[in-house]
Amino acid sequence: MAHWLFKSEPSVFSFEKLIRDGGTEWSCVRNHSAKLNMMAMKLGDRGFFYHSNEGKAAVGIVEVSALYRPDPSDATGKFGMVDIRAVEPLPRPVTLEAAKAEPRLAKMALVVNSRLSVQPVTDDEWEIVCVLGGLKAQRGAKRAKAPA
DNA sequence: GCCAACGTTGGC
DNA sequence: GCCAACGTTGGC
């Protein structure tokens, strides 16, 4: 199962609103890298929900609930969207500052290219951020090479 | 097809 | 509010 990161300004669409609404169409993405990431998503893939500008932190877990399809808001027909739904909030939001301070997240898209609105997250990064966020074992997450 | 100019995003 | 980084557009 692949992992992702969805970025949103909380003043425009917050994780709290996603919880209230249950889910949403992730429309209006107009970036080809983001589009390719959405095209690669499978049902049940999970991702972080990241608040940009205000908070600057991953605040929750979301799940892909509908596959990539045309975005009605795009008249050109070039871009599409997926649906996501809220899974659970992170007990402790993981700030951009914290991600930058963690050497093993140095290559994370969020750290390297903060402007990409839909980003891939590696299994290792997923596990690290989950732990930083106060979540224990994530279902489907790769087991860390444990020193017992 | 290249590259300069411009607009937008998002951290600070 | 400012500015750097990035993507896109358009002239050549």
The 10s digit of each residue's pLDDT in A39-68 is 999 999 999 999 999 999 999 999 999 999
Q: Point out the residue nearest to B10 (C-alpha to C1').
A: A53
Task: Return the exposure string of A27-39: e unless at least 16 CB atoms fall within 10 Å of the residue's CB, then b.
Answer: eebeeebbbebbe
> Rounded to the nearest 5°, which phi and psi values hold at A70?
-55, 145
What is the rounded distance in angstroms from the CA atom of residue A42 to the CA atom of residue A65?
9
Instruction: Return the percentage of chain A with pLDDT > 70, whole number.
Output: 92
- Contact between residue A124 and residue A80 where contact means Cβ atoms under 8 Å apart: no
List all nucleotides in chain C with at least one atom under 7 A from a protein Cβ.
5-8
**Residue A128 pLDDT exceeds 60:** yes
Predicted local confidence at residue A148, as pLDDT: 46
**Residue A115 CB in 7 A reach of strand C:** yes
What is the rounded distance in angstroms from the CA atom of residue A79 to the CA atom of residue A93?
30
How many structural domains compose chain A? 1
CATH number at residue A66: 3.10.590.10
The 10s digit of each residue's pLDDT in A82-95 is 999 999 999 999 99
Would you tell me which residues have their CB within 7 A of strand B? A 7, 9, 52-53, 56, 96-97, 100, 114-117
Between vectors from CA A111 to CA A10 and to CA A4, what angle results, nearest 5°?
A: 65
Domain, as residue range, for A24: 3-145
Diameter over CA atoms, chain A: 55
Residue A104 CB contacts under 8 Å (≥ 6 apart), including other chains: A124, A125, A128
Average pLDDT in chain A? 92
Angstrom distance, A49 CA to C10 C1': 36
Predicted local confidence at residue A76, as pLDDT: 83
What is the rounded distance in angstroms from the CA atom of residue A8 to the CA atom of residue A14?
7
List all nucleotides in chain B with at least one atom under 7 A from a protein Cβ.
9-12
Predicted local confidence at residue A143, as pLDDT: 47
* Nearest nt (C1') from A52 Cα: B10
Angstrom distance, A34 CA to C10 C1': 24
* Nearest nt (C1') from A50 Cα: B10
Whole-model pTM? 0.90
